[in-house]
Amino acid sequence: MPTLANAKFPPPKDASEFEDIVCDAANLSTEWGATDFKRYGRSGQKQDGLDVYSQTSHVGLQCKNVTELTQKIVTKEIGNAEKFPSKLKKLCVATTAPRDTTVQGFVFNHSEERVQLEKFAVSLWFWDDILQNLAKDPKQMQKHFNQFFIGVSPDALIELSHKLGVAENERDQWIQRYQAERDEWMQRYQELERQLAARSDDIGKQAQAFLKQGDLDRAEELFDQAKNNDFENAAASLKSGAANAFASAQIKALKYKTLAAIREATLAANNDIDNAFYWEFLGNLQLRAGDLPQAERAFQQTMRITRTASLAQPNDLNLQREHSVAYVKIGDIQQVQGERACALVSYRASHVIFERLAQQDATNTRWQGDLSASHDRIGNIQQAQGDRVGALVSYRTSLTIRERLSKQDAANTEWQSGLCVSHVKIGDIQQAQGDRAGALVSYHASLTNAKRLAQHDAANTEWLRHLSVSHAKIGDMLQAQGDRAGALLSYRKDLEISERLAQHDAENTKWQRDLSVSHDKIGDMLQAQGDGAGALLSYRASLTIRKRLAKQDAANTEWQRDLSVSHTKIGEIQQAQGDLASALLSYRASLTIAERLAQHDAANVEWQTDMVVLCWKLATVTQGDEAKGFLRRGLAILERLAKEDRLNTEQKGWVQMFRDALAQQP
């Protein structure tokens, strides 16, 4: 892996790692307008002159890990790329070699001649070009140059930003992102150091020495070799091999080789099957990789082990807490997958333990905080299932605990932040129950706390988000009261903060979603004020974000529903503008997603009523039997929900509305 020497980033020695760097840099570059660059083939395979390729831009890169790039090498690679079986618009030869004006001139002239002959163009990327593109994302720099992050000073960061050409107006944000990534990386690094310090064998001691030198590569090689020796030696302990595999997994995770880390962690867990720490680490890696089913299986193993251990040692309260946390992790995955009933079972099992711990020691603020968060989780599920009374009880119990903790330590920003969350959750229930005055009081309480926190630390992104959410919620109440001007003002304050957060970290999906919601709310207000064109711009800005999120995680039901809602809102504007053909397309796009969600969970009232709303809208832009079909379909859903007593007062009135509409059809 590359090491840092005198604030310079030398190229890697390993050809495969260089290809990884080039692939990541290509996805960050604006030169070709594509973010789908991937490694093409694998080492040892015939690659037809390309190592990295984008299917959308049809640009390919050939990686040459050499000290000098010559015209002969470039000419040979052009010939190889001519054999590429797919469409190729441009070939870029990326090299670790320093810039060479002679080769640049040759490539420039040769590329022009090729374009005139309607052949693919050719360009070059030297090592400094690659670094400048990679430096656009601190996570990618950390991924490939992690040693830089060990003990780096703020002055060194500023110096580095100059070397990498970071714009002056972006420097503070760039440094903040680097520092956040460094801190997270260092926590994992220090955990590895603690693990190694607990080992008394020679392998552990050698690895500690390599870590002190900042040489993760040699430490990784050491553990890989020791692991292989252990598993090949029949007399060796399987647990010894598992320990070395786990250490290798930790190092690979530090080097952002997630899939390789998963393989090693799986090997460790399978050969020391009762080690809860191995399974939890594996589950977290699989979450990072987006494999929710495998992550859930790993956490199920953690739960099994901690349950057995806690039964054997009932007085070990920390072990009891670990068992409870395993339930929470499983519940979180179940909730994301839309399995709310299962998630509630997991959260309640966790809650019983948190409650018992909190009762045993009322002075333990960590356990009191756990209990407060547990009430929130249960309240979230109750609210999603339509049990608003139960949700309100859960949220108010959580608020009571947080208020008590805040009084005990008024300077503790964690408790103050928790108060913001509680007030918003309670306000949401009050709003849903029609208690607008009560909701407005709750949202203002959240805003007051959020302002206090933001004044304490204006750079704290979590507190800025509290401030953003509070403005949005107050805007909702002002809108409900008919104060459109006041609502729009609150929504614009929300949008300003949401844009700042989304720009701060483009990979933070929560902030990206917040930004999409902000655009929606402003679109709603503009539509209410008769500004259809302005509303359509806001809704389309929201749609762009939601398409990206939904594509990123097709299993995330919340993001899928968001996308459905965006299509519906755009359809409403198109219908109001008289563009019925476009409105029909938008409503159908929304219906496709809503159908999938409704089939996924027939007990989810919100998803079922989404189907009802779309059936109504589609009936208004279609005619004859098609319109009747949509009305009958919506009515069937309503009648089933009414029979199960799962409709609110307003929704109960929809039944007659659908019947009347059907009766009026020719």
- What one-letter code names the amino acid at 316? D
Q: Which residue has the tokens 């807490």?
A: 321
Question: Among 161-170, 453-462, 554-563, 641-650, whose mean pLDDT is lowest?
Answer: 161-170
Residues contacting 585, CB < 8 A, separation 6+: 571
More confident residue, 170 or 361: 361
Rounded-to-integer distance, Cα 571 and Cα 296, Å: 38
More confident residue, 290 or 496: 496
Rounded-to-integer distance, Cα 641 and Cα 662, Å: 19
Where b means 16+ CB within 10 Å and e means fewer, 351-366 reads bebbbebbeeeeeebe
pLDDT score at 1:
39
Looking at residues 499-514, what average pLDDT do you find? 82
Looking at residues 92-118, what average pLDDT do you find? 86
Looking at residues 624-651, what average pLDDT do you find? 93
pLDDT at residue 275 greater than cutoff 80? yes
Q: Pull the structure tokens for residue 625.
A: 């039997």
Predicted confidence band at 44 (pLDDT cuts at 50, 70, 90)? very low
Percent of the chain's residues with pLDDT above 70: 91
Query: Of the ranges 255-269, 356-370, 610-624, which is most confident?
Result: 610-624
Q: Which residues pair with 53 in a beta bridge?
A: 38, 60
Which pLDDT tens digit goes with each residue over 191-226? 888 888 888 888 888 888 887 777 888 888 999 888
Looking at residues 552-565, what average pLDDT do you find? 91
Rounded-to-integer distance, Cα 346 and Cα 178, Å: 36
pLDDT at residue 165 greater than cutoff 70? no
Rounded-to-integer distance, Cα 463 and Cα 363, Å: 26
Do residues 514 and 497 touch, judged by C-beta distance below 8 A?
no
Q: Rounded to 5 degrees, what angle do the CA atoms 63, 253, 230 make?
A: 105
- CA-nearest of 644, 635, 637 to 663 is 635
pLDDT score at 3:
34
Looking at residues 617-621, what average pLDDT do you find? 96
pLDDT at residue 82 greater than cutoff 80? yes
pLDDT at residue 568 greater than cutoff 90? yes
Which pLDDT tens digit goes with each residue over 348-366? 999 999 999 999 888 899 9
More confident residue, 4 or 603: 603
Q: What pTM value is reported for the model?
A: 0.56
Looking at residues 144-172, what average pLDDT do you find? 55
Percent of the chain's residues with pLDDT above 90: 50
pLDDT at residue 392 greater than cutoff 70? yes
Rounded-to-integer distance, Cα 437 and Cα 478, Å: 10
Question: Among 177-191, 454-468, 552-566, whose mean pLDDT is lowest?
Answer: 177-191
pLDDT at residue 20 greater than cutoff 80? yes
Cα 221 to Cα 256, 296, 384, 476, distances in angstroms: 16, 30, 49, 57
Rounded-to-integer distance, Cα 515 and Cα 519, Å: 6
pLDDT score at 416:
86
Looking at residues 156-178, what average pLDDT do you find? 54
Q: Pull the structure tokens for residue 469.
A: 């959410």
Q: Which residues pair with 123 in a beta bridge?
A: 92
Which pLDDT tens digit goes with each residue over 516-530? 999 999 999 999 999
Predicted confidence band at 169 (pLDDT cuts at 50, 70, 90)? low
CATH topology for 547-666 is 1.25.40
Predicted confidence band at 176 (pLDDT cuts at 50, 70, 90)? low
Mean pLDDT of the chain: 86
- What one-letter code names the amino acid at 272? D
- CA-nearest of 150, 148, 98, 143 to 125 is 98
Query: Of the ranges 11-20, 247-256, 354-363, which is most confident?
Result: 354-363
pLDDT at residue 596 greater than cutoff 60? yes
Q: Is the dihedral of CA 83, 85, 89, 93 positive or negative?
A: negative
Which pLDDT tens digit goes with each residue over 317-339? 988 999 999 999 999 999 888 88
Burial class (CB in 10 A: 0-12, 13-18, 19+), 649: exposed
- The secondary structure element, H or E, covering residue 124 is strand 121-125
pLDDT score at 5:
29
pLDDT at residue 45 greater than cutoff 60? no
